[in-house]
């Protein structure tokens, strides 16, 4: 394989695919990028056996071929090269000479035949989103996934399709985040799919502000394809718990809350807490929302914001991080908080189909 490629294009491609490369793989080839040069296209692929990322760029190809090159070393080099073009010349032993400007390197690689082959799958459903729309959905819920839970199904995000409605859900058993929307472009069977959190985070990282992403879902795998990149992931097998049963059927109280002011006050008062396992007490009374935090080894703090609330006083305590998350990830100016009392689940609605349900903390 012998090619010449624009340095900036190569760098962007390397950045797209290198993020999933681990440091402790038992298979040395998993630390490498698969390079495939054919026609005028250079294809770069990485995998950790659960997740596979592929991207293509234009290149001047003098000699077609395939090889694998150490991902982290190549990325470090290209990011520091001074020059417009990078030349790669790989011999039959998979030693690749790399040149850019006045820089000359040789990296020892492994044969392309050692690289895990793509496992083909048959899609049973196909969904099309705008890239920025899917990125927003993932951003609004992915923080609610917990990898500490022993239930493997909760280590991922649920993608559920029913009668043309799409629901994305994440929960750790203490809080629940979901986004619902009607699908404009969908074919296939209704059903549930669980996307691993690592895969969801990679998808979110790779999505652009413009363009479309096509999701194809099979029995055990799914692919996400944009103009720039294709990501294939294994799915988490199992049945996701009935998340709707934790959402109260009705609420007796409702409050409009300014998003940025709320998060600013909450973060400020939380400084008085010793750690994130402590709680912030939030009180609703007389058109005020009051924040109180105290810890024996730091001190205490309180603050308030003006709201419209004339109902009975409600005192409710929350994990401050869990309470802050939906506000941090909301792009709405105001959210609606719904509650019944200080001990029942509280719901936060942020527009565009977003719902967050959080359990209050019970304190002595």
91, 129: one domain: no
pLDDT band at 277 (very low <50, low <70, confident <90, very high): low
Indicate the residue among 195, 219, 243 that finishes a domain. 243
Residues 89 and 146 grouped into a single domain: no
User: Residue 340 has what DSSP assignment?
Assistant: S
Question: Which of 114, 140, 167 is where one domain is finished?
Answer: 114
Give the model's confidence band at 363: pLDDT under 50 very low, under 70 low, under 90 confident, else very high. low
Q: What's the structural domain count of the chain?
A: 3
pLDDT digits (tens, 9 = 90+) for 279-298: 999 999 999 999 999 888 88
CATH of the domain at 228: 3.10.150.10
Q: Are residues 69 and 50 in the same domain?
A: yes
- Report the pLDDT value the prediction gives residue 274, as an integer from 0 to 100: 83
In a domain, residue 120? The reply is no
When pLDDT is averaged across residues 347-362 and rounded to a whole number, the result is 94
Q: Residue range 336-357: average pLDDT?
A: 95
**pLDDT tens sequence across 130-167:** 999 999 999 999 999 988 878 899 999 999 999 999 99
Q: Residue 297: its pLDDT value, please?
A: 85
* Cα-only R_g, the chain: 25
DSSP string, 162-208: ETTEEEEEEE-SSEEEEEEEE-SSEEE--EEEEEEHHHHHHHHHH--
Residues 187 and 202 both lie in one domain: yes
- Clarify whether residues 129 and 231 are in a common domain: yes
- Is residue 22 assigned to a domain? yes
pTM for the model: 0.93
Mean pLDDT, residues 110-126 = 96
* Tally of CA atoms within 13 A in the half-sphere of 44 that contains its CB: 26
* H/E stretch holding 224: strand 221-225
In a domain, 119, yes or no: no
Domain membership of residue 210 as a residue range:
125-243
Q: Of 223, 243, 263, which closes a domain?
A: 243
302 and 237 within one domain: no
* DSSP output for 21-89: --SS-SSGGGGEEEEEEETTEEEEEEE-SSEEEEEEEE-EEEE-EEEEEEHHHHHHHHHH--SSEEEEE
Q: Which two tokens stand for residue 179?
A: 């986004």
> What gap in Å lies between CA 160 and CA 145, rounded to an integer?
16
CA torsion sign, 224 to 230 to 231 to 232? positive
Residues 252, 234 share a domain: no
Could you read off the pLDDT of 250-272 as tens digits, one per residue? 999 999 999 999 999 999 999 99
Q: Are residues 206 and 253 in the same domain?
A: no
Do residues 310 and 340 share a domain?
Answer: yes
Residue among 349, 343, 352 nearest 177 (CA)? 349
Report the range of poorest mean pLDDT among 100-109, 145-154, 174-183, 205-214: 145-154
* Within a domain: 178: yes
Q: Is residue 177 part of a domain?
A: yes
């Amino acid at each position: 394989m012998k090619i010449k490629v624009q340095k900036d294009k190569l760098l962007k491609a390397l950045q797209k695919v290198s993020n999933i490369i681990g440091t402790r793989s038992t298979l040395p080839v998993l630390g490498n990028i698969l390079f495939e040069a054919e026609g005028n296209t250079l294809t770069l692929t990485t995998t950790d056996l659960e997740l596979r990322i592929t991207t293509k760029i234009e290149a001047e190809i003098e000699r077609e071929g395939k090889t694998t090159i150490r991902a982290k070393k190549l990325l470090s080099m290209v990011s520091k090269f001074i020059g417009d073009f990078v030349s790669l010349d790989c011999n039959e032993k998979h030693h690749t000479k790399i040149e850019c400007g006045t820089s000359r390197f040789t990296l020892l690689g492994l044969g392309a035949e050692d690289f895990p082959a793509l496992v083909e799958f048959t899609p049973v459903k196909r969904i099309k989103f705008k890239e920025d729309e899917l990125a927003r959905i993932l951003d609004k819920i992915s923080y609610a996934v917990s990898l500490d839970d022993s239930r493997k199904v909760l280590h991922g995000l649920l993608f559920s399709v029913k009668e043309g409605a799409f629901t994305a859900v994440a929960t750790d058993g203490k809080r629940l985040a979901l986004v619902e929307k009607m699908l404009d472009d969908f074919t296939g069977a209704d059903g549930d799919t669980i996307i691993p959190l690592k895969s969801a985070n990679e998808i979110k990282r790779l999505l652009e502000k413009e363009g479309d992403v096509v999701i194809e879902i099979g029995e055990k795998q799914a692919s996400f394809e944009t103009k720039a990149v294709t990501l294939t992931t294994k799915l988490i097998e199992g049945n996701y718990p009935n998340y709707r049963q934790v959402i109260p059927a009705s609420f007796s109280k409702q409050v409009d809350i300014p998003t940025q002011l709320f998060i600013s006050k909450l973060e400020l008062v939380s400084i008085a807490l010793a750690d994130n396992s402590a709680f912030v007490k939030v009180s609703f009374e007389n058109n005020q929302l009051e924040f109180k935090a105290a810890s024996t080894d730091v001190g205490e703090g309180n603050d308030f914001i003006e709201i419209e609330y004339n109902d009975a006083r409600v005192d409710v305590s929350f994990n401050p991080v869990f309470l802050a998350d939906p506000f941090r990830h909301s792009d709405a100016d105001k959210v609606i908080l719904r509650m019944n009392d200080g001990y029942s689940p509280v719901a936060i609605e942020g527009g565009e189909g977003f719902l967050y349900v959080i359990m209050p903390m019970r304190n002595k």
